[in-house]
Amino acid sequence: DGQSLLLAATNPAVVTYDASFAFELAVIAEDAIAKMLGDPGDDVIYYLTMYNEPVTQPPMPDGLDEELVLAGLYRYAEGDRDKSHRAQILASGSAMTMALQAQRLLAEEWDVGADVWSAPGWVQLHRDGLDCDSYNRLHPTEDQRTPYVTSALDGADGPVVAVSDFQKAVPGLIAPWVPGRFAVLGTDGFGHSDTRAALRRHFRIDAESIVVAVLAELAVAGDIKRETVAEAIQRYDIDPDATTDLP
């Protein structure tokens, strides 16, 4: 079902989220009840993805604006600003755990301070971007609108790497409006039956693969040497020639 969010995105009456935390689900569910059952209600349904992996759930961060959860993107964990290099990691659903592990590895082993953003609303961000583009195109003499994802990431230092437990096309929905370099990780290819760790390595969405993706983007930008990326690939025993195709 790595494409289900894409299918939901084709129906404008389906409000779609891939939440990372229980508190996000609570915010989204409350909004869904108000929108669908309110008087008058909106003619919409909500499609929410959930996971059965046992993960300790943190409390909602103090001061978090619930509207940012509903908008689809907010900075969840700020990286170490004293590091030599900076990057941004966007994650949703079960990939959030891997993103936070990658943040730690980047700081401890590669001198990179990476902010981790929760992106429960790839589809909502995409629709907002399309709406802004359409408005700007048809109102050339009016003040131009900026998509939320663009304004949220404006001023965020370093490349942006997005990861989810869905096909790359899901986080890729926001690509036109992401400022700067942007790379996407996802679960494209045929499915397999194995442990979660093995499957995440297979699809290269595990913490170590996220680290390599961040380092690779920093290397392309000229911030670090390409040899550093090769060192990470070797250190984490990542097969650079493995594919997600069936044998």
8-50 pLDDT, tens per residue? Answer: 999 999 999 999 999 999 999 999 999 999 888 899 999 999 9
| Mean pLDDT of the chain, nearest integer | 95
Per-residue pLDDT of 80-123, as tens digits, reads: 999 999 999 999 999 999 999 999 999 999 999 999 999 999 99
Distance (Å, whole) CA 236 – CA 231:
9
pLDDT band at 1 (very low <50, low <70, confident <90, very high): low
Is 42 within the bounds of a domain? no
Residue 225 located in a structural domain: yes
Residue 211 lies in a domain: yes
What is the helix (H) or strand (E) element at residue 87, kind and residue range? strand 85-91
CA–CA separation, 174 vs 91, rounded Å?
A: 13
pLDDT the model gives residue 190:
79
50 found inside a domain:
no
Domain total of the chain: 1
Nearest to 84 by CA among 123, 111, 114: 111
Q: Is the pLDDT of residue 242 over 90?
A: no
Residue 78 lies in a domain: yes
Q: Residue 174: CA atoms inside 13 Å, Cβ hemisphere, count?
A: 33
Burial of 29 (0-12, 13-18, 19+ CB in 10 A): middle
- Note the pTM of the prediction, 2 decimals: 0.95
Largest CA distance in the chain: 60
Residue 51 domain-assigned (yes or no): no
Q: Would 162 be classed as within a structural domain? A: yes
Q: Is the pLDDT of residue 165 over 80?
A: yes
For residue 179, the enclosing domain spans: 71-235
**Rounded Cα gap, residues 81 and 197, in angstroms:** 30
| 173-203 residue pLDDT tens | 999 999 999 999 999 987 777 889 989 998 9
Residue 203 is part of a domain; what is its CATH number?
Answer: 3.40.50.920
- Look at residue 30 and tell me if it is in a domain: no
The CA-atom distances, in angstroms, between 5 and each of 16, 43, 49, 109, 213 are 7, 19, 9, 34, 23
